[in-house]
Amino acid sequence: MCLAVPAQIMEISGPRARVSLAGNVREADLSLLEEANIGDWVLVHAGFAIEKLSPEDAKETLELIMQMEGDAGEEP
């Protein structure tokens, strides 16, 4: 299963950015987005920012991911 996760842009250098992803700093390619700014929330998949998110949508998505992680150890 593939999953895109919300990350917040911390620094931008050309088409690349340093993003904060669940407390970890990673690099992401911004070339698929028309415009991205420091502080924006983006969905990152396979190292590419594929969509901008509102802060509310980012928070909701992160909460759902954390909920899924908690449910992962339960029997189906």
Stated pTM of the model: 0.85
pLDDT of 1 strictly over 70: no
CA distance 73 to 52: 31
Taking only the tens place, the pLDDT of each residue in 7-34 is 999 999 999 999 998 789 999 999 999 9
**Looking at the domain assignment, is residue 33 inside a domain?**
yes
Write out the H or E segment, with its range, that includes residue 55: helix 55-71
HSE-CB at 2 with a 13 A cutoff on CA atoms is 6
**Looking at the domain assignment, is residue 76 inside a domain?**
no
Taking only the tens place, the pLDDT of each residue in 35-62 is 999 999 999 999 999 999 999 999 999 9
* Structural domain count, the chain: 1
Structural domain boundaries enclosing 57: 5-71
**Looking at the domain assignment, is residue 46 inside a domain?**
yes
The CATH number of residue 44's host domain is 2.30.30.140
